[in-house]
Amino acid sequence: MAGIVHGKSLMVTGAGGFIGSHLVERLVREGGLVTAFLHYNSRASMGNLVHLSPKVMQSIKVVHGDVQDYGSVLAAMDGCEVVFHLAALIGIPYSYAAPRSYVATNVGGTLNVLEAARSLGGVRVVHTSTSEVYGTALTVPIDEGHPLQAQSPYSASKMAADKLAESYHLSFGLPVVTVRPFNTYGPRQSGRAVIPTIIGQLLGGNGDVCLGSLAPMRDFNYVCDTVDAFVLAGISDDAIGRVVNAGSGKSISIGDLAYKIISLLGTGGKVVQGNDRRRPKGSEVMNLVCDNSLAADLLCWHPQTSLADGLQRTIRFFGDHPEALRNPMEYGV
């Protein structure tokens, strides 16, 4: 993949996020001219960009703004050839409490990115979806033709954003590719996600791991592999107008995942369920496993990292950065 975006002017929204920061790092390494669009706050927080080397940081242009503000999006995107749109509210539990904020950011923000891209003469947009839009699998593995089922306000907001992206391609000919990652994990992931939650409880010395439902099956894909899919989607003409899954093609239950991490850390302990951590009845997505054959065909993309190797790298990161983990004794959305 070396140098495939060399000299291209690129923008990443959500650049301070988990996947976004890894994508910025990769694009710089591939020779891209990168604008990192960060959510403005009064502290001028850089998010996960603080983990990038000084050399990488010197190579990027940082813009603080808000995808909900069309003017700031338009100004930041001016001169870009490709925008990787990752900015979103992602926490599923919080979407039950604050659904309007998910619509404002995930739907309204996506509309602003698409409209800016159209106004600037057809900037390519790599739009980020989520496997949550499929809901509980009706057929396994899940391909891109699987029906969409909104089992949370979060997934509903992402479905709406996906359809906006589709409409801008079909209505205006905008070159849009939608990447639909399954459960991405790795260094820098939010402490509220399930793998950092498990690691944090174990490193915190609590003994046992308290989670919500242990039965759901998930397809975990290491962040560097997910980033590979984004980069390839940014250059593949065959992918324009398409939705492309990015997942490992393998699944594991949340309970078995927790015991796997316990084994890797060698801490011992058992896994228990906490009712306050369960999703509402009817909202839990029970089975997600990716059919990644279209990504292989269109992007020549194949995940490279085993779950065991990816978990080891993730454990090392959080061991070195315990401040990135939540208090293991507390739970919040």
| Per-residue tokens: 117 | 């891209």
Residue 20 sits at the vertex; the CA angle it makes with 164 and 227, to the nearest 5 degrees, is 90
Report yes or no: 198 and 139 within 8 Å, Cβ to Cβ: no
Q: Is the C-alpha dihedral spanning 282, 288, 291, 296 positive or negative?
A: positive
Annotated catalytic residue 222: no
Catalytic option among 102, 154, 185, 222: 154
CA 218 from chain centre, in angstroms, equals 14
Annotate 272-314 with three-state secondary structure: EECHHHCCCCCCCCCECCECCHHHHHHHCCCCCCCHHHHHHHH
Distance of alpha carbon 235 from alpha carbon 233, whole angstroms: 6
CA atoms in the 13 A half-sphere facing the CB of 118: 17
CA nearest neighbour of 144 among 155, 131, 156: 131
Distance of alpha carbon 238 from alpha carbon 181, whole angstroms: 19
CA 95 from chain centre, in angstroms, equals 16
Residue 12: count of CB within 10 angstroms of its CB: 30
CA 301 from chain centre, in angstroms, equals 17
Known catalytic residues?
154
